Structure 1
Amino acid sequence: MWESIFLTVAATAGNNIGKVLQKKGTVVRAYASNKPWLIGFLMDIFGAILMLRALSLAPVSVIQPVSGCGLAVLSIFSHFYLKEVMNVVDWMGITLAGLGTIGVGAGGEEQKASSISILHLPWVACGVAFLFVLLNGWLRIYRRQRREQELMQSEVVEEIIYGLESGILFGIASVISKMGFVFLEQGFSALLVPICISISICCSASGFIYQTRGLKHGRAVVVSTCAAVASIVTGVLAGMLALGERLPESPTSRLWLLLGWLLIVSGVILLVTSTRLVRFLPRKWRPVERPFASRQASSLRSREATSNPSTIIQTATLHHLVTSPAKAKP
């Protein structure tokens, strides 16, 4: 179990740091001739391989929450490598995410082969489809109301819906990848593994589309927070419903696992919303920073949170090869 957790943390660290190096490299010269971009690209790919290995060893209900620590690793890397200023809320988020990872590792059990019935999978797919129809219907209603009232800015409900839709797709992408390994363990054809990974890539790419729409019209802090939390919750619930994963039988292990999930989600929320929450702290706890550095640090964390909300196939670098990084409105 601990091996899977270490692999997950290393994978998400590679994904996030790789994206930072790629963005840092593109500012100077063309992609192919820029060393930081090439290093970042290789780290991104290596992170994808580590994540697939982690999914093959442990339940997705463990891997998906732990992958949320990638944002904490990114914050530390940005602080020491890019010399960005971090505030008290950032460090609190990193601490909570780290403690949550320890809790998940202490409460998780060794993975056992699940007896998945193929008949259960259509029900899960129908449930996800129904949820998307419901969310899109809700989105259309608010758009119509906004046009009737001649409002130019999007409402918070629209931002939440876009974040939820992208997060759900990211979580489902991890579950589908794990499904391929479970089918292989149960004696099905090995071709199901690349098929499931391909479907996972499509789900993750669709998640980027929804996320980009949300960032184009809404606030990054709302969209990215909803996406990160929805990604973790979807991975846990879908893993239990579709893959037959269960909570530990021991009450102590179950408590550690649930506490770990809660701490990781809380840490991710603090990291994403730190620039807003720090305004409510006493003045002596607020960092004394240069205005430009502050804007650069907060914008970098926002973009990275939105470009990698703790899932697997964004590591396939589709976001960099197909779409350009989204720019969030303040």
Structure 2
Amino acid sequence: MWQSISLTLAATAGNNIGKVLQKKGTLILPPLSFKLKVLRAYAINKAWVTGLLIDIIGALLMLRALSQAPVSIIQPVSGCGLAILSIFSHFYLKEIMNAVDWVGITLAGVGTIGVGIGGEEQSGSTISFIHLLWLVSIVAILFVLLNGWLRIFKHQRREQELMHFDVVEEIISGLESGILFGMASVISKMGFVFSEQGFPKVFIPICISISICCSGIGFFYQTRGLKHGRAIVVSTCAAVASILTGVLAGMLALGEQLPAAPLARLFVLLGWLLIMAGVILLVSSQKLLFLAPRPLRQFLHGGSERNFGIRRSNSVRLRDPSPTTLVSISPLHHLKASPAKAKT
């Protein structure tokens, strides 16, 4: 189990750090197109190429982890990618970390250890086609309800001539993208489970292809929400929805169960909660610090509020609050709202 968790941490670190390096490389590059000069410029940019290779290696490591461990373990642990990225940004990009960030990193790390300890007794997965049919039906109905709810709020906003997204619309966009990101991991795992149960090996690339499609659609929903709404709301909902979807869908469709031993079960449940709490704190740390009283804000940040504002606004804050998925992780520059929008 610890080997699978280590692979997951390495994979999510590669995915997130790879996106940071790609973003850093694109700062001096033209928009990507199929023109020969543009492609050559990307190919000779060391930062972009290095980031792409690390991202691909991360995706392969995630596939390896999913082939060895239950998705109900892998998906929550993958949420720690944001904690790893925060540490990388602190030392590599010289980004200032506040006390809330460090608390979030600590909670995510402790949660991962708890999941690792309790997950030792996890048994193999078995696909129930009846449960799988129920899962597909539930997801389809849920999306119909969410999109219907979204249309109602859009119609009300147009009637009232309001320009900004309502908070409900932000929540719905985050939930939809998070559900799809979580389902991407579950579908990838299904390919390996089919293979273990004696089905043809062709199911593995088929399931991975479907997983990539789910990630792509999830990225579309997330980008739509981030374009018009607040990054903190959309990203938090997406992160939590992704973890919960991976856990619940893994148990429902793949027959994964909690450990039988009460202590091991407690470790797993606490691990899930701590990881989600850590992810939420990391996503919302800047907002929480902004809302804190001035003396507390200065204390949490080390007594340098002015430097905090300058460094945060001038540096490229390349966090990816979206949950780590199998292949597609949202480009980090889409997840940072503009300063004016972040304060709304």
Same fold (TM over 0.5): yes
Judged with a 3 Å threshold, the aligned counterparts in structure 2 of structure 1 residues 81 and 196 are, in CA distance, closer, same or farther, namely same
The residue number in structure 1 matching 2:44 is 33
Q: Distance in 1 between matches of 2:202 and 2:333?
A: 32
Distance 1:273 1:110, change over 3 A: same
Say yes or no: does 1:311 pair with 2:311. Answer: no
How many angstroms apart in 2 are the aligned matches of 1:136 and 1:23? 32
1:184 to 195, 200, 217: 195
Structure 2 unmatched runs, 5+: 30-40
Cα 1:115/1:20, change in 2 over 3 Å? closer
The AA in structure 1 aligned to 2:312 is S
After TM superposition, give the deviation of residue 118 of structure 1 in Å. 2.2
Select 2:65's aligned residue among 38, 50, 54: 54
Normalising by structure 1, report the TM-score. Answer: 0.93
Question: What does residue range 200-239 of structure 1 map to in structure 2 within 5 Å?
Answer: 200-239=211-250
The two structures, once aligned, show a CA RMSD in angstroms of 1.7
One-letter amino acid matched to 1:57: Q
Partner of 1:295: 313
> 1:15–1:234: structure 2 CA closer, same or farther, 3 Å change rule?
same
Deviation digits for residues 148-191 of structure 1, max 9, x if unmatched? 11111111000000000000000000000000000100000100
SS class of match (1:163): helix
Q: State which drifts further: 106-115 or 149-158.
A: 106-115
1:20 match: 20
- The answer to whether the aligner puts 1:198 opposite 2:204 as a matched pair is no
Residues paired across the two proteins, number: 321
Deviation at 1:11, TM superposition (A): 0.3
Is 2:240–2:276's contact at 8 Å kept on the other side of the alignment?
yes
Match of 1:149 in 2: 160
Partner deviation per Cα, 1:127-156 (whole Å, 9 max, x = no partner): 100000000011011111111111111110
- Distance in 2, matches of 1:205 and 1:48, equals 14
The answer to whether the aligner puts 1:102 opposite 2:118 as a matched pair is: no
Change (3 A) 1:290 1:99: closer
Residues 31 and 37, structure 1, Cα contact 8 Å, conserved in 2: yes
- 1:110 Cα deviation (Å)? 4.7
Q: What is the TM-score with the length of structure 2 in the denominator? A: 0.90
Which amino acid letter does the alignment assign opposite residue 245 of structure 1?
Answer: E
Query: Helix, strand or coil: the match of 2:120?
Result: coil
Out of 131, 135, 139, the residue aligned to residue 120 of structure 1 is: 131
CA distance in 1, matches of 2:314, 2:77: 27
CA contact (8 A) 1:57 1:111 kept: no
Identity across aligned pairs (percent)?
69
Q: Is this contact kept in 2: 1:88–1:278, CA < 8 A? A: no
Change (3 A) 1:176 1:296: farther
Distance 2:311 2:238 in 1: 26
For structure 1, the residue ranges without an aligned partner over 5 or more in a row are: none
- Indicate the SS of the match to 2:42: coil
The superposition leaves residues 273-318 of structure 1 with CA deviations (integer Å, 9 ceiling, x where unpaired) of 00011131613222422533212558422xx224xx2221215xxx
User: 2: distance between equivalents of 1:325 and 1:154?
Assistant: 17
1:286 corresponds in structure 2 to 301
Counterpart for residue 263 of structure 2: 252
- Distance in structure 2 (CA, Å) of the matches to 1:42 and 1:310: 17
Question: In 2, Cα distance between the equivalents of 1:265 and 1:297?
Answer: 27
